[in-house]
Amino acid sequence: MSFTHSVFFELEDGSPAAVEELLRACREDLAGHAGEEGFFVGARAEGYEREVNDLAFHVALSIRFEDRAAHDAYQVSDRHARFIERCRANWRAVRVFDAEG
């Protein structure tokens, strides 16, 4: 059963340069792990401010894994730990949504 790991980052410094830095770090450290079936990272889309839109994030990350075991291995990988260490200083809030299906 596939497993989707979605993370929404709200930054202390939400400048375009800081957003781009986080996007680059996600691509370098979080893409290409064993068991990944899909990878997406992007900045919040501007111009979508309907009542249902949550605007409390700057960067969205979504990774689909082949199963829960692949996700769990990703969580304890050296690359994931390096990503957290190098990027966490600029995080105001991080929200994680995990789903199986």
Q: By the 8 A CB rule, do 60 and 44 touch?
A: yes
Cβ-Cβ contacts under 8 Å for 29 (sequence gap 6 or more) = 79, 80, 82, 83, 86
pTM score of the predicted model? 0.94
CA distances from 101 to 32, 38, 62, 79, 95 (A): 21, 14, 14, 26, 20
The confidence score (pLDDT) of residue 18 equals 98
In the numeric block, which tokens belong to residue 85?
A: 């260490």
The answer to whether residues 65 and 98 touch, using CB atoms and an 8 Å cutoff, is no
pLDDT at 38: 98
Q: What crossing angle do the helices spanning 16-30 and 78-87 adopt, rounded to 10°?
A: 170
What was the pLDDT predicted at 50?
93
CA atoms of 34 and 24, how far apart (whole Å): 20
Nearest Cα to Cα of residue 96 among 67, 71, 69, 66: 71
Question: H/E element holding 4?
Answer: strand 3-11
Confidence (pLDDT) at 24: 98
Domain ranges of the chain: 3-100
CATH 3.50.50.60 matches 3-100: no
pLDDT tens by residue, the chain, 101 residues: 999 999 999 999 999 999 999 999 999 999 999 999 999 999 999 999 899 999 999 999 999 999 999 999 999 999 999 999 999 999 999 999 999 99
What pLDDT was estimated at residue 100? 96
